[in-house]
Amino acid sequence: MIKKISWRNLLVLLTLVAVLAMVGGYLLLTPAPINTITLEEGYRADLYADPALAVGLKSRLEARVIDGHGKPVSGCSVQFFQAMPGMQMSTDDQPLVATERAVGRYIAGTHEFTMGGGWELKLRLDCTGQTSRQGIYAFTLDWPN
The residues binding Cu ion (CB under 5 A) are: 84, 87, 115
We find the least distance from the C-beta atom of residue 115 to Cu ion, in angstroms, to be 4
We find the least distance from the C-beta atom of residue 34 to Cu ion, in angstroms, to be 20
We find the least distance from the C-beta atom of residue 120 to Cu ion, in angstroms, to be 11
Of residues 36 and 114, the one with the C-beta less far from Cu ion: 114
DSSP letter at 70?
Answer: S
Query: Which three-class secondary structure state does DSSP give residue 117?
Result: strand
- Identify any residues that bridge with 138 across adjacent strands, giving them in sequence order: 120
Query: Which three-class secondary structure state does DSSP give residue 52?
Result: coil
Of residues 87 and 103, the one with the C-beta less far from Cu ion: 87
Of residues 18 and 87, the one with the C-beta less far from Cu ion: 87
